Structure 1
Amino acid sequence: MFATRAARPGLKAVTVARPALSNNYATLREIEGRLKSIKNIQKITGTMKIVASTKLARAQKAMSDSRTYGQNSNTVFEKAETKPLESGKTLLIVASSDKGLCGGIHSQLTKATRKRIAKDPNVDIVVLGEKVKAPLARASGKNIKLSFSNVGKNIPTFMEAQAIADQIIQLDTQYDNVEIIYNAFKSAISYEPDAIPAFSEEVFKNSANFSAFEIEDEQLPNFREFALANTIYWALAEGHACEQSARRNAMDNASKNAGEMINKFQILFNRTRQAVITGELVEIITGAAASAES
């Protein structure tokens, strides 16, 4: 049987006394922890900047080599006066990568692709890299016919571009016009989206000056695949150089911002510590004076 309320012994709540933490001390620990975090971030961004700077030199060399391939292929179309068909089926190849931490390089490429899709909503899309695939899939998922991952981890090679071109040519739809949208390298601090055209055998065969080239009909498919691989290689190499340049600039800006934050928090830490020390000295002096009077 449980005892009734009247029969229960009176209980008295006992509060265990705990030492109160100083607000100033807690604030100092918080500021010190924030300083350590920002300094660690600055070390990481500084290291990434050095790595990107090293990779940029090799990426620029590969970009120069790829331009030789791509521009020579485009020279043939220019001299043949090849022009895209107004009513032909168009394929957009978006040359991106799988890596981030490189500023707005992928978002600019996405915006340029969306503008191109707005002009012709029926275009098909092939995406190279995962960074552009996600935003394009949300708005134009039905237009994406093929996508490639693991792009941009290393310096692009012609063999990779040739493998991509082979997969694109095996698509069921026959495309009259092909546009490769990529980031064009302008300088170490400047890049902008651009497009390189490519054409089918029929469009090239119907060019105004096609007769000036001694190309047999059996050789046209091979030439088209080779020209497409050259152009994709050019676009990937240019985009890789832009990515390394953008990553270096982004990490440089992040390091500078971290340095500014460190200076601000260091000043705040010094002022708060000085205030704590002054407060403790005032308490000691006041206590000593009170003891002397008593």
Structure 2
Amino acid sequence: MFATRAQPVASVVSSNIQTRSMGTLREIQIRLNAIKSTGKVTKSMKMIASSKVPKAQKAMETARVYGASSARIFENTKTVPAEGSQDVFIVSSSDRGLCGGIHSSVAKAARRQLEAAPAASQQVIVLGDKSKTQMSRSHKENITLSFNQIGKSIPTFAEASAVAETIKASNVKFDNAVILYNSFTSVIAYEATPLTTFSTDSLKAAEGFTAYEVDDEILENYNEFLFANNVYWSLVEGHASEMSAKRTAMENATKNAGEMVDRLTMIYNRSRQAAITSELVDIITGASAL
């Protein structure tokens, strides 16, 4: 009688253990497959970003030559903002994510600039949907103009000129334009940097401008070219920083996925071994009872 009563109890307990183990094993297997698939995607995205980085860096080096020439004009003439001039802040970013905190970098820099700027210089122009989303959380009322479809490929000077012309033709009134972009430092580092384009009046009033003999009409056209050139520089250098950051982000994501797969595989093997052990205990208990 005692053996007859003990056998159902052991069978019920073993059945519960086996059911829980099988359920756990199935859940672990589903999660393992999902993480492996994610790891394959991030590895592919890393390879794509790696192939784009050299081209982006080459275009950035070319843009830096023209950008440095533009900046040297303002440095040599010792141009400073005119008293009471109005600024506009241009946040240079892109539409695409999965590249770490590169978009939040310029958004944070723009917020700091806005906090220190006077009330008359609180206008913001955003290049890229990612930074527009972040800036809208705190300074939605300051955004006067925005652009999208940016960052799909290496920016060209024609695209930068179109952006500059649209800004000039818009209702945004400003004297100086401060472009906030991600300056490429290395393949794993970037820094939000301001790039200022001064107004024509500020350039005329500069201390060292007397060394240049330029007609007013030519100077106006040249200053517009400097503005478009700075927009181009910021877009191209920001694109190179984005591709490098995306490659680093996807590399870290692939590494994390691999570590999670190893950890879950160990848990799966231990759970499977526990399930097998419980089945063996059930068989041995039943044989002993007989």
Q: TM-score, normalised by structure 1?
A: 0.89
* Structure with greater helix percent: 2
Please name the residue that 1:176 is paired with.
175
Please name the residue that 2:50 is paired with.
53
Please name the residue that 2:266 is paired with.
267
Query: d(CA) in 1 for partners of 2:173 and 2:39?
Result: 51
Identity %: 47
3-state DSSP of counterpart to 1:180: strand
Please name the residue that 1:290 is paired with.
289
1:87 to 84, 87, 97: 84
> Match for 2:115: what amino acid?
A
**How many angstroms does 1:125 deviate by?**
1.3
> Match for 2:177: what amino acid?
V
Please name the residue that 1:278 is paired with.
277
User: Please, which runs of 5 or more residues in structure 2 have no aligned partner?
Assistant: 1-14
Contact 1:122–1:143, Cα closer than 8 Å, also in 2: no
Q: In the TM superposition, what whole-angstrom CA distance separates every residue of 1:123-160 from its partner, at most 9, and x where no partner exists? A: 21111001111221232222222110101111110000
Contact 1:179–1:196, Cα closer than 8 Å, also in 2: yes
Contact 2:184–2:190, Cα closer than 8 Å, also in 1: yes
Contact 1:84–1:203, Cα closer than 8 Å, also in 2: yes
Q: TM-score, normalised by structure 2?
A: 0.90
3-state DSSP of counterpart to 1:196: strand
**How many angstroms does 1:85 deviate by?**
2.4
Q: In the TM superposition, what whole-angstrom CA distance separates every residue of 1:189-232 from its partner, at most 9, and x where no partner exists? A: 11110011101111111111112112111112211111011100
Residues 173, 258 of structure 1: alpha-carbon distance in 2 compared, 3 angstrom cutoff: closer
User: Please, which runs of 5 or more residues in structure 1 have no aligned partner?
Assistant: 1-18
**How many angstroms does 1:262 deviate by?**
0.8
State yes or no: 1:24 paired with 2:21.
Answer: yes
3-state DSSP of counterpart to 2:271: helix
Query: d(CA) in 2 for partners of 1:143 and 1:200?
Result: 21
Q: In the TM superposition, what whole-angstrom CA distance separates every residue of 1:149-191 from its partner, at most 9, and x where no partner exists? A: 1011111100000000101111345422111100111001111
Count matched residues.
Answer: 273
**How many angstroms does 1:288 deviate by?**
2.4
Once the two structures are overlaid, the 10-residue window that deviates more, 19-28 or 218-227, is 19-28
3-state DSSP of counterpart to 1:131: helix
Please name the residue that 1:3 is paired with.
none
State yes or no: 1:39 paired with 2:36.
Answer: yes
**Rg larger for:** 1
Query: d(CA) in 2 for partners of 1:122 and 1:28?
Result: 63
Contact 2:90–2:125, Cα closer than 8 Å, also in 1: yes
Query: d(CA) in 2 for partners of 1:70 and 1:125?
Result: 22
**How many angstroms does 1:280 deviate by?**
0.8
Query: d(CA) in 1 for partners of 2:130 and 2:103?
Result: 7
